[in-house]
Amino acid sequence: MKLYTFFRSGTSHRLRIALNLKGLSYDQVAVDLRREEHLAQAFKAIHPQQFVPVLDTEDRLMIQSPAIIEWLEERHRDPPLLPSDAAERAQVRALAAIVGCDIHPVNNRRILEALRHRFAADEAAINDWCGTWIGAGFDAIEALLASDRRRGDFCFGNHPTLADVYLVPQVESARRFKVDMARWPRVQAVDAACGQLDAFRQAAPAAQPDAG
């Protein structure tokens, strides 16, 4: 498989984690967002929204990280990223959705570029904007983790799930935007536990060929 990716993209990061957890090999094609390579017509032919990531399975081009990760879960079931119980699956999906639906969409590059160029936001304002929504989401995740008496080292149980796949890239993003993580000890503990696993370490932005 071929993965069109950018080292610092949170959605690319989460997909790299999922692929690694599934033990799947893939070649990376770097799309440098800093040089606006995603806006070129050649990339638009690959993804009409001009976003990363894109997964080329040889059979088809797959877009949107939630859809791709769902496909991975259906196609490559072992190890599972979702529990077998329906209520527990909903719990894990809810944790992932706090990141995927509520934090990331208002902090992605497209939004931040609009704030910079259309509303003259400086980097302090950008960090404050991002910190506001990251903080609101992490407050909720921290509370949910605290209320789960059965929780192990990860967001749910003793093995990484979809929730961890989403959370870790958002923690990376929080640090990049200078968010003080001190008030979320459980979130930090989950991030640390994930950081012990090769699947997460190898997916980290700094470990990518296009990092720099």
Strand partners, 61: 56
**Number of helical (H) and strand (E) elements in the chain, helices listed first:** 10, 4
Residue 202 contacts residue 168 (beta carbons within 8 Å):
no
Q: Of the candidates 138, 122, 148, which has an alpha carbon nearest to the alpha carbon of residue 175?
A: 138
CATH number at residue 11: 3.40.30.10
Q: What is the pTM of this model?
A: 0.97
Look up the domain containing 74 and give its range: 2-79
* Cβ proximity of 155 and 92 under 8 Å: yes
Q: What's residue 149's pLDDT?
A: 83
The pLDDT tens digits of the residues spanning 17-40 come to 999 999 999 999 999 999 999 999
For residue 150, the model assigns a pLDDT of 80
Interatomic CA distance for residues 36 and 109, integer angstroms? 11
Element (H, E) at 55: strand 54-56
204, part of any domain: no
In-domain check, residue 206: no
Cβ(8)–Cβ(205) under 8 Å?
yes
What CATH number is given to the structural domain containing 116?
1.20.1050.10
pLDDT (0 to 100) of residue 61: 97
* Residue pointed to by tokens 């590059």: 109
pLDDT in tens, 130-143: 999 999 999 999 99
Please tell me the distance from the alpha carbon of residue 7 to that of residue 184, in angstroms, as a whole number: 25
* Segment 36-64, tens digit of pLDDT: 999 999 999 999 999 999 999 999 999 99
Domain count, the chain: 2
pLDDT tens track for 163-194: 999 999 999 999 999 999 999 999 999 999 99
Give every CB contact of residue 34 below 8 A, 6+ residues apart in sequence. Answer: none
For 76-126, how does the pLDDT look when each residue is reduced to its tens digit (9 = 90+)?
999 999 999 999 999 999 999 999 999 999 999 999 999 999 999 999 999
Question: How far apart are the C-alpha atoms of 36 and 50, rounded to whole Å?
Answer: 10
pLDDT of residue 73: 97
CB 65 within 8 A of CB 131: no
Q: Is residue 39 part of a domain?
A: yes
Same domain, 33 and 107: no
- Are 91 and 195 members of one domain? yes
